[in-house]
Chains A and B, each alone.
Chain A
């Protein structure tokens, strides 16, 4: 069945460091891919998305490219800030669009 695998955390970075959080997926057909962010005590917020191969989603300095050849959707940011500290979830919506599959989440802490 469809699934998402995320790199395990926690990840701790200094402010202005480069961020990569790896995400790979298994799916039949052509899923849509998402990154969600969850701040402490809150629900999930959509960060960015890509709906077809080679699409690049971007928002707030974060970006991720839908790579069908490597079945990956890695999240990157060139210079992280303390306010980026949160848990990041990779997710996919299958071919039928009927169900989302979430990764286990990667906790990011950015220290000044």
Chain B
């Protein structure tokens, strides 16, 4: 069964450093989502792509976060500089339609 791949699974970084996460969606899924999930809370949408175009990035802190999906397949989410409050699980999801999302295992980020 096809799955959404994410790497790394865990990342520890120091405050003010740059960090990047990678996501490879299920083949054929045109829509890709990045979420941030703070411990004990539900996922919060950061950015949504349709193919290579950004559909929604209204909740993305654009002063430090950036996301790209250059060829409409895999995607990278970057944080620069990282802050203590960025410690969270970063989840990637993809969907063929807009009614059902499939999630990757997530990247657990700890900023020290």
- Please report A residues at the B interface, Cβ cutoff 8 Å: 32, 34, 36, 41-46, 49, 51, 89, 93, 96-100, 102-105
Contact of A45 among B45, B48, B56, B103 (CB under 8 A): B103
Residues of chain B with a CB closer than 8 A to A98's CB: 48, 55-56, 98
Contact partners of B33 in chain A: CB under 8 A: 100
Q: Which of these, A34, A42, A49, A100, contacts B106 with CB under 8 Å? A: A42
Interface string of B101-112 (1 = CB under 8 A from A): 111111010000
Report if A46-B102 is in contact (Cβ < 8 Å); known contacts: A98-B48, A99-B48, A99-B56: yes
Contact (Cβ within 8 A) A102 B42: yes
List 29 A-B residue pairs with CB atoms under 8 Å apart, sorted by A's residue number.
A34-B100, A42-B105, A43-B4, A43-B91, A43-B93, A43-B106, A44-B91, A44-B103, A46-B100, A46-B101, A46-B102, A49-B99, A51-B99, A93-B99, A97-B97, A97-B99, A98-B48, A98-B98, A99-B48, A99-B56, A100-B33, A100-B45, A100-B101, A102-B42, A102-B43, A103-B42, A104-B40, A104-B41, A105-B42
| Residues of B within 8 A of A (CB-CB), count | 24
Nearest B residue to A102 via CB reads B42
| Across-interface contacts of B56 in A (CB, < 8 A) | 98-99
Closest to A89 in B: B42
Chain B, 65-106, contact with A by CB distance < 8 Å: what is the 0/1 string?
Answer: 000000000000000000000000001010001111111111
In the complex, A59 Cα to B103 Cα: how many Å?
18
